[in-house]
């Protein structure tokens, strides 16, 4: 079991305090999780052992590497362990669409529940770590990581794991999921026009929400494109950004935003909430839900 899976198991334990484990053995599973990166961690061990003689000692990598790491590196590692704990033998769906992974999993789960594929519903979970060596290296090379608040632009890297149970029974629901919309845009950066295309269509189909949860992950140029589009399409709507409080978690960010929204006492039951998201080289999207009484 890798670190990402351990985080997911911890979050599952919280869920099982509120739900019967037997009922979850029949749900459909949708995961949006990071892979582990034991290769980088093992190289780090070699470097720290003797920084001045790294190349002379690089052969130690073979001695430190564990064959089990091959299993821990698989993107299905978390799905495997969650299925095992729940004794769930339904087909699981691991999704990898960058920072839209959680939203993509939710979109697929909503479609399957609405079509009646499984009366037990769906379990959507995501576990991610933007403090990993790989993530910090990529964003660091782009000069888009904030350290101690000194950087003008950049992500506040965070980590987290989240589970959502989705079904078609409204009695105990914390929220009603109205729509999950994703537009395919294989781009590294998204312009105001990309957001306008999404938001104008959303408004024409579902009207104006009461609250908008912005995607804004700290990268100023991208935040401005989203903000400018929101000002044009929904100028009077209150917006919030939870990433300034909890950091940016990559694949988990959309689902964690939902949990923050449900626990935000400033957002009253009955409010229609729109949550935005993007995924590099994949696209952008939004989730519309109606908050219910807890």
Cα–Cα dist 196/226, whole Å: 9
Residue-wise pLDDT tens digits, 77-114: 899 999 999 999 877 888 889 999 999 999 999 999 99
Rounded CA-CA distance 28/136 in Å is: 33
Task: Assign 2 to helix, strand or coil.
Answer: coil
pLDDT score for 41: 63
CA distances (Å), 279 to each of 33, 171, 214, 254, in order?
A: 14, 33, 14, 11
**CATH tag, 175-291:** 3.40.47.10
Does pLDDT of 149 surpass 60? no
Q: Decide if 191 contacts 160 (C-beta within 8 A).
A: no
The answer to whether the beta carbons of residues 128 and 252 sit under 8 Å apart is yes
**Rounded distance between C-alpha atoms, residue 43 and residue 40, angstroms:** 5
The dotted CATH code for 3-38+69-166 is: 3.40.47.10
The pLDDT tens digits for 200-216 are: 999 999 999 999 999 99
Read off the pLDDT of residues 160-192 as tens digits, 9 standing for 90 and up: 999 999 999 998 899 999 999 999 999 999 999
Terminal Cα-to-Cα distance of the chain (whole angstroms): 34
pLDDT value for 135: 84
Map residue 242 onto helix, strand or coil: coil
Domain boundaries, the chain: 3-38+69-166, 175-291
Reported as type and span, the H/E element at residue 92 is strand 92-94
Within a 10 A sphere around the Cβ of 271, how many other Cβ atoms? 18
Cα 156 to Cα 137: distance, rounded to the nearest angstrom:
14
Q: Are 201 and 181 in contact (CB under 8 A)?
A: yes
Q: 3-38+69-166 with 175-291: one CATH topology?
A: yes
Rounded Cα distance, 192 and 223, in Å? 10
Task: State yes or no: pLDDT of 158 exceeds 70.
Answer: yes
């Amino acid at each position: 079991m890798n670190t990402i899976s351990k985080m997911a198991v911890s979050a599952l334990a919280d869920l099982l305090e509120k739900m019967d484990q037997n009922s979850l053995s029949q749900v459909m599973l949708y995961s949006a999780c990071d892979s582990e990166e034991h290769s980088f961690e093992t190289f780090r061990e070699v470097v720290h052992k003797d920084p001045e003689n790294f190349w002379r000692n690089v052969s130690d990598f073979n001695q430190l590497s564990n064959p089990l790491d091959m299993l821990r590196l698989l993107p299905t590692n978390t799905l495997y362990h969650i299925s095992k704990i729940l004794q769930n033998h339904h087909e699981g769906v691991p999704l990898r669409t960058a920072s839209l992974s959680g939203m993509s999993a939710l979109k697929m789960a909503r479609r399957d529940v609405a079509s009646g594929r499984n009366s037990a519903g769906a379990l959507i979970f995501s576990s991610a770590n933007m403090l990993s060596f790989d993530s910090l290296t990529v964003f660091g090379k782009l000069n888009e990581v904030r350290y101690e608040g000194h950087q003008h632009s950049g992500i506040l890297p965070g980590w987290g794991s989240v589970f959502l149970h989705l079904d078609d029974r409204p009695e105990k629901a914390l929220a009603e999921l109205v729509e999950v919309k994703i537009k395919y845009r294989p781009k590294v950066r998204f312009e105001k026009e990309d957001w306008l295309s999404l938001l104008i269509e959303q408004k024409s189909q579902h009207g104006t929400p009461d609250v908008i949860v912005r995607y804004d992950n700290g990268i100023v140029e991208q935040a401005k494109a989203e903000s400018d589009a929101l000002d044009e399409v929904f100028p009077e709507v209150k917006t919030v950004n939870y990433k300034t409080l909890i950091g940016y978690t990559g694949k988990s960010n959309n689902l964690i935003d939902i949990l923050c929204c449900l626990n935000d006492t400033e957002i009253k039951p009955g409010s229609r909430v729109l949550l935005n998201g993007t995924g590099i080289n994949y696209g952008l999207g939004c989730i519309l839900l109606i908050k219910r009484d807890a």
